[in-house]
Amino acid sequence: MNLKTLAKGMLYLFLALFSTAAFAQTKVITGKVTDSKDGSPVAGASVVVKGTQYGTQTGADGTFKLNAPADSKTLVISSLNFVTQEITITGSTINVALVPSADQLGDVVVIGYGTARKNDLTGALASVKAKDFNQGIISSPDQLLQNKVAGLQIVSNGGQPGTATTVKLRGNSSLIAGQQPLYVIDGVPLDGRTARPSVTLNTGGFGTTPDDNPLLFINMNDIAQVDVLKDASATAIYGSRGANGVILITTKKATAGPLKVEAGVSYGVNAGYMKRYDILNASQFRQALTKYNLPSSLDGGANIDAFKAIEQNTIAQNYNLAFSGGNENGRFRASFLASTQPGIIKNTDLSKYIASFGGEYKMLDKRLTIGFNMIAGHVTYQLPNVSNTAGSQGNLISSALSWNPTQPFTNSSGLYIYPTNGSGNPLSLLTAYSDLSNLNTFLGNINATYKLAKNLSYKFLYAINHATGNRLTNIDGFIQGYSGLSGLGFGAISDATLTSQTFTHTLNYDVNLTKKLKLNAVAGYEYWTSDYSNQSFSATGFNTNLDQTKLVNIPYTSILQNGNTQNLPSIYVDPTTDLQSYFVRGRFNYDDKYFLDASFRADGSNKFGANNKYGYFPAFGARWVMSNEKFLQDNKTISNLALRASWGITGSQEFPASASQESFGVISYNNIGQSNVFNPNLKWQQTSQVDLGLDFGFFNGRLFGSFDYYNKNTTNILFQSNAIQPAPAATYWINLPGHILNKGFEFSLGAVVVDKKDFGWNVNFNMAYNKNKLTDFYAPGTTTPLQILTGQITGQGVSGTLAQIMTNNQPIDAFYLKPFGGFDANGNQIIGANPIIAGNPNPTTVYGVGTDIRYKKFTLTINGGGQGGYLIYSNTATNITNISGIVGGRNIDKAAFNSPEAVTSAVGASTRFLQSGNFFKLRNATINYQIGNVGKYIKNMSAFVTGNNLFVITKFTGFDPEVNTDHSNAGYPSLSIEYLPYPTQRTVSFGVNFSL
């Protein structure tokens, strides 16, 4: 069953189930809902008879018609970004002017274990509503926020749909992996990992594929808003998991009223590569053969575009359906999503089927509220062999880049041609390689809130996040020239399981202590536990698919026992992680002018040594709203002006669960080895942070924004050291005495430039500057600076080269390369003998810009952004498209061709391949047309066209300057190294949304 048929069937089913309604004695009420500011109609506003399920929505012109019970007394009218109003029914016609929320300072935002008005908070945070998300073909929720939040850097690790992202908030806070922020979905903290099994081939030049995104199981149409907690005042309530920031995702909830059905469908097409890698075409390749006096036999006589040959033009499809309803005592919402998102490269696809169901019910005279939320997602991945660690033959992108553009892919018999120059044949790789993953994820929680007294309530929450993954990897043995694979074939079956559970108890006390002094206090206990396991079984030496002319559609993973050589299984079980926490927070509000809050959390984890089981995380914050003082209350220019200051300590436990324990591994039968030495003194890595902020609004909220300065200091740095021999194992986790410093500022600005009935124009801009440095980074007990090398440079001639360093008084992952001195008289590279500190891979500036222009029923929305102040190392140019490759008939890049370099020049890693990473990217642009009501049943229909990744402005020569190929070493991550990434595609999508 295809997606279109499935979506139609679902829609017809729900229309049949809910198209009838029972009517008692009723009366007809009509009216119109408008914006109080300019009188423009408010489309899609909810109009409900209070206490009943009778209700409707306003049309495109703001009008409504409602059949209400004869004894109806009150209408409740609400709409996004407007203040909800209750109107007494005095006649058959009711017109209502809704009051907008201006610069949204009164908006409710989600904070740790509760909610609050934005203008009541002392911490630095940003809230992004659904209407402001990035639009178009987007595979994961974090991409909705790219360039939307000052200080939040989100970089896709490749152009492949569903690939993992590198997310950093206010710079680097660790030397090791695990710098992602904590994600919390409807109050449930996630593990942060994925259940897609990992597979390391390490045979035939094939390598490890990039990780997938752990948020793929979330339906992005279900997200109501995302709140990003930045400073310690906001994140310390999450204690040991808050050092990298916290991202709170809140899904849509049901509202009281009659059954409401929302639907949408969209299709997308591939519009080519956002940016091509600049290699020689067939004509230029022939010129190069002449220029370098190479034999004419290297000219294959054809004109080939390898990237055109591996490109696909499959249509992306997206179908979503949601329905909700209820009354003041009980309400529910359910949603369904079916989508497929093909990549630009053949054999690439991300398909998702997601269902969610949630509700809230009040009982015992509304003293008890029971709520629940469930998300079930099935994700299917089809992956090409685009790998972080592959050799030149084992990577599809490498084969396409280096393919001789004059050489056909097949001979006259239709059989693949296999060059002997190490390039590989990209079409044969597409045929021979198969990697299919299926992930099933369930996230569910049930919560109960009981009102103990007038101002005191107790809440219990239990949540479980369970995910399983199955992965089938096949490489047919007919491909030639691959050691360990050719004539043998390879198959692997891999499975993984990830389960985390949360138990949370909280008491909430909300009271007016005096006429002007308010107190909100929260105290709680939380227990969180997580388990992960991964296993893989593989074999080689099959007797099928060894001849291209005799291929059968039976993958090796279906007949794994047929493999002549059964490899040892790879099984890994992560020790259970247990975290128990006690926390308390108090927030004071005096006369809506002076705000003070303080929080404290104690976390105990079995990840740490026996002598340091608990860590303690305090935080304080204050806010002064000057615009509420008498001297500014009547000011017609300043509508909001507030100062904030905060300090706090957060921690990090994102490192192996066995770091403080003795760890062992089974190598073979009766052969067990210790892999880690225990350290009973291992303790929390902690980050203290100071934040000073200013919030402002002018001209009744027409111009608004904020400015923040912060200073972060990370100490007790977690470090994987080499154990002093003789020792039972090679590794030993310790805390180092150094400091990871991040200092910077953030600025955001929004403006309502024009706000008329038929024309409106809004703009927004944000920018963040961050300076990162590692200080006092010495070997324990000495003043000798430590030097940790990472950033592996891959390829023949440079194997074993490490291009980045972590050392004293330098930014993390500073480039550490031999200097390039040009070319000698013979055209050979001049490369210095010793490496030097060569530049910063960390963007110092991240910015975003957006605008929306409304004219009558049309709206144009544009979002873009970029990064600056950093360098990228092109490993691709170093080893794949370098000039020496043309001697064997491999393609080269234009930069090498246009240089004075000779074909005899040796391959070498140096500062020559450092390039500016500065860029500006137009992420998406959307034109939306509000059609309005169509016929009797379809309401608020709108049609749209969206373009994604429309262009990028940069001097970087690779596919995309927004890149971070994983070239880590010994567990220490790299940054801003580009090596054969999956290209970023440009897409155009179109669709409609409507309600029933």
Residues with Cβ within 8 Å of residue 886, at least 6 apart in sequence: 285, 288, 289, 292, 294, 298, 892, 903
- Residues with Cβ within 8 Å of residue 439, at least 6 apart in sequence: 194, 195, 196, 212, 216, 217, 377, 378, 379, 380, 381, 467, 468, 469
Distance CA 676, CA 733 (A): 8
Beta bridge partners of 373: 358, 445
Q: DSSP secondary structure string, 297-314?
A: GG--S----HHHHHB--P
Cβ neighbours of 363 (radius 10 Å): 11
Q: Are 955 and 918 in contact (CB under 8 A)?
A: yes
Contact 736, 786 (CB under 8 A): yes
Establish whether the linkage from the previous residue to 384 is cis, with ω within 30° of 0: no
Quote the Cα angle for 95-101-103, to 5°: 145
Residue 948, phi-psi category: left (phi > 0), alpha (psi -120 to 50), beta (remainder): beta
Alpha helices in 830-960 (DSSP H): 875-879, 894-897
Listed in sequence order, the residues at least 6 apart from 921 whose beta carbon sits closer than 8 Å to its beta carbon are 864, 865, 866, 949, 951, 952, 953, 962
Give the C-alpha distances (Å, rounded to integers) separating 506 from 113, 520, 522.
8, 13, 7
Q: Do residues 536 and 493 touch, judged by C-beta distance below 8 A? A: yes
Q: 806-837 as b/e, with b when 16 or more CB fall inside 10 Å?
A: bbbebbbbbbbbbebeebeeeeebebeeebee
Same topology between domain 3-98 and domain 108-995: no
Residue identified by tokens 């062992």 is 664
* DSSP 8-state class, residue 232: H
Torsion of CA 195, 197, 200, 201, to 10 degrees: -150
So what CATH class is 3-98? Answer: mainly beta
Closest Cα to residue 206, out of 390, 419, 411, 71? Answer: 390
Q: How far is CA 278 from CA 247, 275, 955, 958, 959, in A?
A: 38, 9, 12, 8, 9
Q: Phi/psi zone of residue 561: left (φ > 0), alpha (ψ -120 to 50 degrees), beta?
A: alpha
726-732-735-738 Cα dihedral, nearest 10 degrees = 70
654 to 181, 240, 616, 751, 975: CA distances (angstroms):
10, 9, 17, 39, 18
CATH number assigned to the domain with residue range 108-995, chosen from the 4 options 3.40.50.300, 1.10.10.410, 2.60.120.10, 2.40.170.20: 2.40.170.20
Element (H, E) at 592: none
CB 718 within 8 A of CB 175: yes
Q: What is the dihedral sign for C-alpha 110, 114, 119, 124?
A: negative
CB 254 within 8 A of CB 78: no
> DSSP class of residue 887?
G
**What's residue 851's pLDDT?**
95
Please, what are the averages of pLDDT over each run of 10 residues along the chain (996 residues)? 51 43 66 80 82 77 85 83 82 85 59 85 89 90 92 88 90 83 93 87 74 91 93 90 91 83 94 93 96 94 95 95 89 95 94 95 93 96 84 84 96 93 91 95 96 95 96 95 91 95 96 93 96 94 95 95 91 89 95 94 88 91 93 88 95 76 68 73 89 94 94 90 60 85 96 90 96 91 89 86 95 96 94 95 96 94 96 93 92 93 93 96 95 87 95 94 86 90 94 93
Q: Which residues contact 191 (CB under 8 A, 6 or more apart)?
A: 214, 465, 498, 500, 530, 532
Please give the single-letter amino acid code of residue 875: N
Q: Which of 702, 761, 10, 746 is nearest to 334 (CA)?
A: 10
Q: Is 428 helix (H, G, I), strand (E, B) or coil?
A: helix
Strand partners, 810: 774
Angle subtended at Cα 866 by Cα 704 and Cα 892, rounded to the nearest 5 degrees: 175
- Residue 115 near residue 101, CB atoms below 8 Å: no
Query: How confident is the model at residue 21, as a pLDDT?
Result: 37
How far apart are the C-alpha atoms of 361 and 327, rounded to whole Å?
9
What CA–CA distance (Å, rounded) separates 341 from 351?
Answer: 6
Where are the extended beta strands (E) located within 279-430? 316-326, 330-342, 349-363, 368-382
Instruction: Give 529's strand partners.
Output: 501, 578
Evaluate the CA torsion angle 949, 952, 958, 960 in order and state its sign.
negative
Owner of token pair 């007038």: 454
Strand segments (E) across 51-200: 55-57, 63-69, 74-78, 85-88, 93-98, 108-111, 114-117, 125-129, 152-156, 165-169, 182-185, 188-189
pTM for the structure as a whole: 0.89
Q: What angle do CA 816, 841, 201 make, to 5 degrees?
A: 80
Q: Supply the DSSP string of 468-483, one letter for each residue.
A: EEEEEEEE-TT--S-T
The phi and psi torsions of 308 (rounded to 5 degrees) equal -70, -35
DSSP alpha helix (H) spans, 852-904: 875-879, 894-897
* Separation CA 591–CA 788 (nearest Å): 53
Residues 6 or more apart whose CB falls under 8 angstroms from that of 173 comprise 179, 243, 244, 652, 687, 712, 714, 740, 742
Distance (Å, whole) CA 185 – CA 468: 19
What are the beta bridge partners of residue 512?
Answer: 518
Tokens coding 164? 């993992």
Beta bridge mates, 315 = none
What's the distance, Cα to Cα, between the start and end of the chain in Å? 25
Nearest Cα to 950, choosing from 915, 920, 917, 916?
920
Q: Where are the domains of the chain?
A: 3-98, 108-995
